[in-house]
Structure 1
Amino acid sequence: MTTNSSEFASCQTSAPIDPKLAMGWMHTARFLTTAAQLHHLPPVDVPEIAFVGRSNAGKSTSINTLTQQKQLAFASKKPGRTQHINLFALGKQGVTDAVLADLPGYGYAAVSRSDKERWQRVMLNYLMQRESLSAVVLLCDPRLGLTELDEALLDAIRPRVEQGLKFLVLLTKADKLTRSEQAKILSITKLNAGGGEVRMFSALKKQGVDDVAQLLWHWCHPDGLKPATPAPAAPESAAPVDTPATPDTPAQ
């Protein structure tokens, strides 16, 4: 994937902020809604950051670590279980200045072909059509590197990247690697990603947590602090859904 690196200069040259500000902002995350079908997602007029990645890449764990909440995003021990998009609002209670989207994991071999195809439609439609989407965080296991599915996803969002969509490749489970291995994989991933940001991350060791929180804060506040927007009305729902979608409610 190739893109102009100047598109990301603004986030690289933004004035540094107090990590406590960014981490405090991330900690305001709260459940907004869940949906198995895209048209059930509420429209929002604030930046929306999508977390995507293969099953078992550490997506939900990373969200929970960044928000300092143990059970905000459901982390299942059974890969491929979640088939819904879960939205989380960020900002002071009652107002929202950004939204996090936790998308279903992909690439798990033990699910049916029809499920895989349905999840692919969900993600592609979301990534191509969601108007409020302003950034994508692609999580991957550095021991595997960018897989064919990861590269296909980066290729799919290329048109939107060229229009200003930001993306971050987050190499999770960095604690499984030595420092020299991390440096090597970081360099290789930067070349293969073709632009954007690349970070090492460890939920266990808290490596990269402050750095990523600050990056996301800058992406959502390009002009610095400004008044937040009233939170959008969410469809009636009690909690993030982690059970498989039924044939009666296929994700489109």
Structure 2
Amino acid sequence: MPSQSHPPDLAEKPRPAGRRRGGTVDYVVERIREALLSGRLALGQRLIEADMTQEFGISRGPWREAMRRLAAEGVVELVPNRGALVRRLSRQDIIDRFRIRQSLEGLAASLTASRMTGTDQRERFRAALELPDGKAEAEAPRAANFRLHRAIAEGAGNPQLLELITQLWGAELRGPEHAAYWRESAAEHARIVDAILAADPEAAERAMRQHLGAVLDRLLATPEAEAPWSGRSGRGG
């Protein structure tokens, strides 16, 4: 696995003004999660403290507190004399997480659909799915996947549900790097979006549950070298 410390754009979003420790820790936790989900961090990658604190412009205290929080969530491992490494999940870990995700993200899809009560709500949801200005279209399959799941989790309007879902996103989102995988996932995403925009909570929840079940089936059917627990594949879901 890669032993590099981190990509140069890991802390690309501006840190909140001020030096409040809790806010700094939250910022680091969010950036690490997003870097893992978007593919900028690899499974098993070492997060070198000296490099990371310089990248984020923070002291060791908030960095170590952020790593302890991510370790408690199962995102990283704290290894004596090596520091923090992005955790690799087992095959069974991934199966278990997908089953939990079906329930939580199904609920999020239902709640998001129930909030599509007018044109403004629908336009905001559509905007959350769009590729940000200045981003290359080549990023679309992986980035669009992350944006959709994030937009639905945020659209539910339930911060505690968002936090639970976010904690489950990790290595289990990895999927094979081939076009057929993404085509199937994109078609399932379209059904979820259609149900949400139609303000149909039951259909949205059903579509999300079916999508995550289908993704899990596809992951379990992939060759071992491409499976997410191998640490070699890209990200799906």
Shared fold, TM over 0.5: no
Q: Which has the higher contact order (CA 8 A, sep 6+)?
A: 1
Structure ranking higher in strand proportion:
1
Normalised by the shorter chain, which TM-score bucket? Answer: under 0.3
Query: Which has the greater radius of gyration?
Result: 2
Structure ranking higher in helix proportion:
2
